[in-house]
Structure 1
Amino acid sequence: MTDATRLSARDALARVADPGTFGELPAPEGKYGPDGPLSWEGYDAARARAAARTGEAESVVCGTASVGGTRAVLVSFEFGFLGGSLGERAGDRIEAAYTYAREHRLPVVPLVATGGSRMQEGMRALVQLQRVARQSVLNREAGLPQVAVLRDPTTGGGWATLGAGADVILALEGAQVGFAGSRVRPADADPSAYTAEGQYAAGAVDAVVRPDDLAGTLARWLRLLTRPSDAPAPVPYALGRGDLPATGREAVLRARAPERPRAGAYLDAYFTSREAVSGDRCGGTDEGMLCGFGESARDGRTIAFAAQTGTATRPAGYRTAARMVRLAGRLGVPVLTLVDTPGAANDAEAERSGAGAAIADLFTALAASPVPVTTLVVGEGGSGGALALAAPDRTWATPDSYFSVIAPELAAAILKRAPEETDATADQLQVRPQDLEDLGAVRGIAQPAP
């Protein structure tokens, strides 16, 4: 924990909002009966002490502000007010904030710091989680982004709704993050699992951010996620060799060459800046799949991307890509995918992690995408593990790439051919870029930059 992660609600707002732009939304009318819905003895006094200590009437402060020039609705938790807990009146405020965001077409940024539901209100407090989840769904259906910032601590229902339910999740370094708070988790639990860093490693958080970098990071995300466009992402320029391979075997060797440009080089050339989406939200990450949103160097538009880096793609990679494709579709942002994998990971752990279901989900996400998807094969196109990331009818290939139903070596083995027949098998498979164009498997061959 750092001092910045335990800021008050208004200090947290001041840290991210452009100076002088925050305006608080009116709090909905609503009062408790004596000591709340459960007549919990001492509840009125506890709330009065919390109000005197924090200067707030409830555990959330809601309003609008500009963040790096992008107007947004901000929902900031006051942990000093009964541990930032959610009760009925806090639910009223959050519902009103999300409704305002829909009416004015604004993104929502929850600045979360909460211990969970307010026990002095019992089930009347717990059902606020359903209420908050409903508001999140309505904003998602309206195509409005939600970017959560996890402060210290973010636990219980606040993490399981406003936090984990957001489109993009930023966590402040050192923050406690987990469904189980420190007083209710098992005594022998690994404490690292309940941290921002632990949640990032488990694929539940997109980025761990230094407090001093939060305003800039949040501003970039809001800018990227609030600029829809109808035009497809332009095909990237080819960065490698410009001549075409003479044989299938040459195509395979060129695609596998260590010096051949990889996804990172293509993304650097394609974007002036980009932010990463990380993790499958199911406990996994895959460094071999790079996903996120960036600003196109070609025309300045926001383009979402998913790029394989040349390794065997793991189930978490497919799930992360599918999550990104669906988010881009909801926000109206075109998608670019870069294909480069020898195939899907096929070890036992990949099978136990649901490889088949993860690949199927990505196929489905691309097939159902309401926004245009552009694909460039930049290296190896290894069977279905590569095809899952390829756009139907909008795929191009570079001169130093290949695409095949199966690797030539494996095809020869399955056909019970001698190893020396592998080259001839590669030719039979017609894996060269020009073969793929003739077959109609790709639209064309990417050209170098002018």
Structure 2
Amino acid sequence: MSDRHSAREIVALVADDSTFAELPASIRDPRPDGPLAWPGYDASRARAAERTGEQESVVCGTARIGGARAVLIAFEFGFLGGSLGERTGDLLEAAYTYAREHRLPVVPLVATGGSRMQEGMLALTQLQRVARQSALTREAGLAQVAVVRDPTTGGGWATLGAGADVVLALPGAQIGFAGSRVRPADADPAAYTAEAQVAAGAVDAVVRPEELRDTLARWLPLLTSPSGTPAPPPEPLGDSAGLPGTGWDAVRRARSPRRPHAAAYLDAYFTHRVAISGDRCGGTDPDGMLCGFGAHDGRTVAYAAQTGTATRPAGYRTAARLIRLADRLGIPVLTLVDTPGAANDAEAERQGTGAAIADLFVAVAGARTPVTTLVIGEGGSGGALALAAPGNTWATADSYFSVIAPELAAAILKRPPREVEPTADQLRIRPQDLVELGVIRGTVNP
């Protein structure tokens, strides 16, 4: 199935039947051959209008998607390549203004080749205009979920697409800042695809056209349900034998492959959930950090969960992105701590481990929305603490939290291997020790 849908076709794919209502178009009268008096521009626009039935490259309106009301911005690629000009900017500004006035999320359905050549720099400056509208909508606490289609390039990708809170893409769609006619001759075309953008952390997921409505119907209610009540910590899983007797016992239990990990806790906690992916800086950490939004007891809770592996810089940046988004939308956050520590290989350093951890500390510390943390396994050093909520952290009986792993602590102190287990006791890393020290609020035990 081709994803070269017209604006009306893509609206029909995502909107509930008979719910789309086009917003009144209030756009400036066209000047003869446009602001630059470009010869033949009027004729090009007339042919585009006749071919598509549209007066501009976007169609804006409201609709329900799975019952959730939203503002839709659908690009018509058949109208001069879905390019942005002054009148496009008029329509986009009006759509975002309507969304703010009526407290509605915005769903751009993007297919564009960029700015319109026939309007020169006046077309390019529409990107600033769009960015301003997006920023105002973000400040208003309203979600933006983009669907990027084939193709989405240039400024349309760099504003309405990549600038959205959540970015979904159609399979095989050409996506990138550089369009096909302006790339280096030896550029790998596979780098400019939806799948490549997911791998690079710029797109959250690839969604088939026939699944768009259901996918958006899961996302929109979750992103439009603010709550000021903290998320309760999850109930403990597994058959724990009470609290650990020694520090080393706590370490062994936290490292056991048989204890429940993040995915099991998330499955038990949420009735359904959707995931975000990528740090928007070129990286992902799918094996180390799970982030997204889910429904718990009838309300939305955002989550960032370590999976038991060393967390990579992209994982920390994705978690910071999740927490800031939840904070803007007024959604409480649950974090699950479970890592031996931050990845410490050379590549992790080149990717900015320290800066990524620092940014996550700031995101958690600056969050106005309540953050709740449960330590479910290893709590290794600052790489674990960065995800923990000050004053609202809990721990399971199968966990420990330490300034550093006992083996590494012994090595730093120049102690022989036989001193590792006593060192674990001295560090006081058991859940009950952490409660006594005031590091955590309490334990959740079977």
TM-score (norm 2): 0.99
Q: 1:242, CA displacement in angstroms?
A: 4.6
Partner of 1:187: 185
Counterpart in the other structure of 1:257: 256
SS at match of 1:6: coil
Q: Distance in 2 between matches of 1:80 and 1:361?
A: 42
- What is the one-letter code of the residue matched to 1:93? L
Deviation at 1:43, TM superposition (A): 0.3
- In the other structure, the counterpart of 1:353 is 351
Aligned partners of 2:378, 2:159: CA distance in 1, in Å? 40
What is the 5 A alignment of 1:8-407? 8-240=6-238, 241-287=240-286, 288-296=288-296, 299-407=297-405
Aligned to 1:10, what secondary structure does the other structure show? helix
Q: Secondary structure at the match of 2:356?
A: helix
Q: Is this contact kept in 1: 2:27–2:91, CA < 8 A?
A: no
Tell me, in whole angstroms, the C-alpha distance in 2 between the residues paired with 1:102 and 1:213.
Answer: 28
Q: Is the 8 A contact 2:324 2:367 kept in 1?
A: yes
Query: How big is the shift at 1:29?
Result: 3.3
Partner Cα separation in structure 2 for residue 70 and residue 327 of structure 1:
20
- Deviations, residues 349-398 of structure 1 (Å, cap 9, x unaligned): 11111111100000000000010000000000000000000000000000
For the Cα contact (< 8 Å) 1:148–1:168, is it kept in 2? yes
Equivalent residue letter for 2:66: G
Structure 2 SS opposite 1:286: coil
Alignment partners' CA distance in 1, 2:386 and 2:337: 9
Secondary structure at the aligned position of 1:92 is classed as helix
In the alignment, is the contact (CA less than 8 A) between 1:242 and 1:447 conserved in 2? no
After superposition, what is the alpha-carbon deviation per residue over 1:228-250, rounded to whole angstroms, capped at 9, x for unaligned?
A: 01110011011131511110001
When the two structures are superposed, what TM-score results if normalisation uses the length of structure 1? 0.98
Displacement of 1:32 in angstroms is 1.8
Aligned residues: 444
Tell me how far 1:260 sits from its aligned partner.
1.0
Please tell me whether the aligned partners of residues 10 and 76 of structure 1 are also in contact (alpha carbons under 8 angstroms): yes
Gaps of 5+ in 2: none
Deviates more, 1:392-401 or 1:181-190: 181-190
1:318–1:362 contact (8 Å) kept in structure 2: yes
Quote the offset at 1:183 in angstroms: 1.0
- Which whole-Å CA distance do the structure 2 matches of 1:256 and 1:174 have between them? 40
Q: Secondary structure at the match of 2:271?
A: strand
CA distance in 1, matches of 2:55, 2:216: 27
Q: Which letter maps to 1:247? A: T
Cα distance in structure 2, aligned partners of 1:121 and 1:414: 65
CA distance in 1, matches of 2:294, 2:268: 11
Distance 1:242 1:383 in 2: 26
State the Cα deviation string for residues 197-255 of structure 1 (Å, max 9, x = none).
00000000011111111110011110100000111001101113151111000100000
Return the alpha-carbon distance in structure 2 between the equivalents of residues 146 and 104 of structure 1: 14
CA distance in 1, matches of 2:213, 2:31: 40
State the SS of the aligned residue for 1:252.
helix
Matches within 5 A, 1:410-449: 410-448=408-446
Q: CA RMSD in A?
A: 0.7
Alignment-mate amino acid for residue 111 of structure 1: L
Asked if the contact 1:294–1:303 (Cα under 8 Å) also holds between the matched residues in 2, the reply is yes
Task: State the distance in 1 between where 2:5 and 2:260 align.
Answer: 45
Identity of aligned residues (%): 77
Instruction: Give the whole-Å Cα distance in 2 for the aligned partners of 1:407 and 1:29.
Output: 63
Tell me the distance in 2 between the aligned counterparts of 1:285 and 1:333.
Answer: 23
Tell me if the contact between 2:313 and 2:348 (Cα under 8 Å) persists in the aligned partners. yes
Q: Where does the alignment leave 5 or more consecutive residues of structure 1 unmatched?
A: none
- Per-residue CA deviations over 1:426-445 (Å, capped at 9, x if unaligned) read 00000111111111111011
Matched-pair contact (CA < 8 Å) for 1:153–1:175: yes
Measure how far apart 1:33 and its partner are: 1.3
Mapped partners of 1:406, 1:125: distance in 2: 55
Q: Which segment is superposed worse, 26-35 or 223-232?
A: 26-35
Shift of 1:190: 1.1
Q: CA deviation at 1:447?
A: 3.0
Q: Which contiguous aligned blocks of 4+ residues in structure 1 show a shift greater than 2 angstroms? A: none
